[in-house]
Amino acid sequence: MKTEVFGKGKPLVLIHGWGMSSRVWMDTAERLSGKNKIYLIDLPGMGSSKMIYPYSIAKILEEINAIAEEQISIMGWSLGGQLAIEYQNKYRKKVKQLILVSTTPCFVNNNNWNYGVERKVFDNFSSSVLYDWHSAMRKFFNLQLIGAKDRKNILAKLEKFFLNKKSPSIEALGKGLRFLIDNDYRDKLKRIKIPVLILSGNKDKLIPLKASEFLNENILNSRLKIIDGATHIPFMSHQEIFIQHVSEFMKINDK
């Protein structure tokens, strides 16, 4: 996987969400690099990373592990948060702490989970992505930023970073959507024993606040910080308070 490493201090691996690349983290990563050695990765088939085969979560975790130092912290956003949970579950001794941003343990609603996306809505979006990626992603960006502060500027930046660049692999997008629909991490949360910071926007239209509260209730050593007015991308819309929460968490757990 394409990886960029910079900064000095505690190793911090940043995992982006579905359909994006590490560029979504750039401003945040630069702000955190003063006290952290930042690992920015592009997931396979996205950004500048090539496809891998088989395209599976297990194989992606192996790729991340190949670049990770002995003791790391991980910050994952959305799908990246789910990958962070699974990485910690598989490589338990290597992870010092987790930061889960706009993360849900179960993305799609089912018989005993109502804090996700309806299956029909998810299926319609999946079809539109595979048919017309640019149009679908523009709608996806808009959905993530409904009610966001500085929405127009953030949308312009997202379009510049992603829609005007090389498109992700359609195969990677499709496989990533399968990860979201097939995986349910609820039963794995109580196994997490390390410190966990959960960051959530109270206006997130994709990940309801109830999903973040569920994480907080079921992860033993976790703390939930709700960012007022933030949507699905709090590190772009509310960068100052986001950086403050992350920095305080990293400092507390460095003692």
Q: Just list the catalytic residues.
A: 78, 204, 232
DSSP conformation class of 92 = G
The torsion angle over the Cα atoms of residues 143, 156, 242 and 57, rounded to 10 degrees, is: 60
Token pair 């379009």 is found at 159
The answer for residues whose C-beta is within 8 angstroms of residue 93's C-beta and 6 or more apart is: none
Q: Residue 184: CB partners within 8 Å, gap ≥ 6?
A: 105, 106, 110, 113
How many angstroms from the chain centroid is the CA of residue 139? 19
| Secondary structure class of 204 (helix, strand, coil) | coil
Contacts of 186 (CB under 8 A, 6+ apart): 105, 106, 113, 214, 218
Residues belonging to the chain: 255
